[in-house]
Amino acid sequence: MNSLYRVFVSLPPSMCDRDRQLQERIVFFEAPYNYANGSTAGAAEVLEKLLTLAWGVDAAGWCEEGFAYNLRREREIVDEAMGEGDTRLLEIGWGGTPNISYAKAEDVDLFVSPLQVKRLRAALQATAREAVAA
């Protein structure tokens, strides 16, 4: 069974918007998890192949080189997050409970199954509403 993962990816300059020299993407994807040894190594390989195909770049080695970092399973993210529900998957910074920073939809890529897409889009909408209300 696959696990949901989140990873931050620093884009190479050739992929950045002209007005943003440094740009990150928050990428969600699904991949197997090795419960026997607790390793995400297989997930890193899946991610690099996925980015290579989806973005048309050679992403081999990006996890090892640090372009893709903080590769975490859903369970790890949720256990350490401060918010509530699925919005915890989108937390990118904290300044106390009322000051949680969330990923913006335009910076998020979803390479997941249809049920996960529905979940994550709902979470993105909830955090967007929260940002407007603040």
The pLDDT of residue 117: 97
Residue 79 confidence (pLDDT) above 70: yes
The pLDDT of residue 96: 60
One DSSP character per residue, 29-47 reads: EEEE-BTTTTB-HHHHHHH
Q: What is the band of 130 on the pLDDT scale with cuts at 50, 70, 90? A: low
Q: What is the pLDDT of residues 84-108, one digit of tens each?
A: 899 999 999 877 656 888 999 999 9
Element (H, E) at 23: none
CA-based radius of gyration for the chain: 15
Residue 123 confidence (pLDDT) above 80: yes
Q: What is the pLDDT of residues 9-39, one digit of tens each?
A: 998 877 877 777 778 999 999 998 877 777 7
